[in-house]
A and B are shown apart, each in its own frame.
Chain A
């Protein structure tokens, strides 16, 4: 049976450096959907051990008030990932983000160690979810096999910095260098029925550009975005939460399709727009998203 939290709402996933106690003590006040406690790039090489103790006690003792606790572990090409997995599972992390994922095999290796840790620390088998960060051309090209690699896998996230390095270009701010990866990843994720998140946007002086980027990835079909600053959360939530106008239209579509179906009518108009059965799932999804975002007051 699928994990109940596998498809929970994940519009905003905010990175926090586990090396900094001041950052991980109360991030729930900003109300992100998920926090990503980082053991990887943000943590200096000689502080990897220190970050794990902080992580363990934070997971065990801080009440994050329903915010999903994801931990980004170090890559499989480092000496750190095995102990990272042990501490994540022992501490009770909800989800592990696998850095630099390139293949289904990478996910399987992590999965094997997670299962061993669940047995070692007496956690229910299968309780720890996984997500995969794709950070290279090879990883992006293998997006579908990664998406289909494990029942624990909730989705894939683009890591733009490393990916553009591998592509031999840079983050330009226009998004042109990320077009192919974004498109490939969202198509693979949808084909496999998992979620998909866009890369971070690091220029905090260009909030208008950030907002445009969030609107674009929403239109592309992404479920949300990795974030580096609490100021970015509200913008993402505003864009990813259906407006009252969209909710009302979706309700009409669902009701009308249900009603017309019983009357033997296949195509008709709602508010001047041609509607048929193809619109049904999209309208349902809008209502589900509104419910998950806490803005739905209807009875569908």
Chain B
């Protein structure tokens, strides 16, 4: 999927993550801010990249501000931001590329 415009999902509340996607070139430019970066930074990065890969997002600038989100929340926020950037809110592929 192409990132057509900047879009954001999530909040800065505890157990949440705020994910911003913006149009980009030359691959994924991912920056992560987290209070648990030393402990979980690698896992957060892996989950975000895996989700983007599943959504076939190849070029984007992605910013994650993590507040202790579970993997399932991270995935939900990345997916929401990507679909928002495409203006899609209905007939989503639940169980397909969203899984």
Contacts and interface: CB of A to CB of B under 8 A. Distances in A.
Q: Are A and B subunits of one complex? A: yes
Interface of A: 20-22, 25, 48-50, 52-54, 56-58, 60-62, 82-83, 86-87, 90-91, 121
Contacts of A86: 91-92, 94
B69 A83 contact: no
Contacts of A20: 13, 16
Q: Is the interface of A mostly helix, strand, loop or mixed?
A: helix
30 contacts: A20-B16, A21-B73, A21-B76, A22-B13, A22-B14, A22-B15, A25-B70, A25-B73, A49-B89, A50-B10, A50-B80, A52-B92, A53-B76, A53-B80, A54-B72, A54-B76, A56-B98, A57-B72, A57-B73, A57-B75, A57-B76, A62-B72, A83-B90, A86-B91, A86-B92, A86-B94, A87-B92, A87-B94, A90-B95, A121-B94
A145 to B, nearest CB: 31
Contacts of A53: 9, 75-77, 79-80, 98
A62 B76 CA distance: 13
A49 B84 contact: yes
Interface size class of B (residues with CB under 8 A): 20 to 34
B56 to A, nearest CB: 17
Interface string B57-71: 000000000000111
Contacts of A49: 80, 83-84, 89
B5 interface: no
Contacts of A50: 9-10, 76-77, 80
Contacts of B10: 50
A56 B94 contact: yes
B54 interface: no
A52 B76 CA distance: 8
Given A53-B98, A57-B75, A61-B72, A21 B15 contact: yes
A121 B91 CA distance: 12
Contact of B70 (A21, A90, A121): A21
Contacts of B90: 82-83
Nearest to A19: B11
Nearest to A57: B72
A48 B90 CA distance: 11
B71 A61 contact: yes
Contact of B92 (A54, A61, A83): A83
Contacts of B77: 50, 53
B16 A22 contact: yes
Nearest to B88: A49
Contacts of A61: 71-72
Contacts of B71: 61
Contact of A21 (B69, B89, B92, B95): B69
B58 to A, nearest CB: 21
Closest 8 CB pairs of A and B: A90-B94, A22-B15, A57-B72, A53-B76, A21-B73, A61-B72, A54-B76, A49-B89
A87 B91 CA distance: 9
A20 B95 CA distance: 22
B52 to A, nearest CB: 14
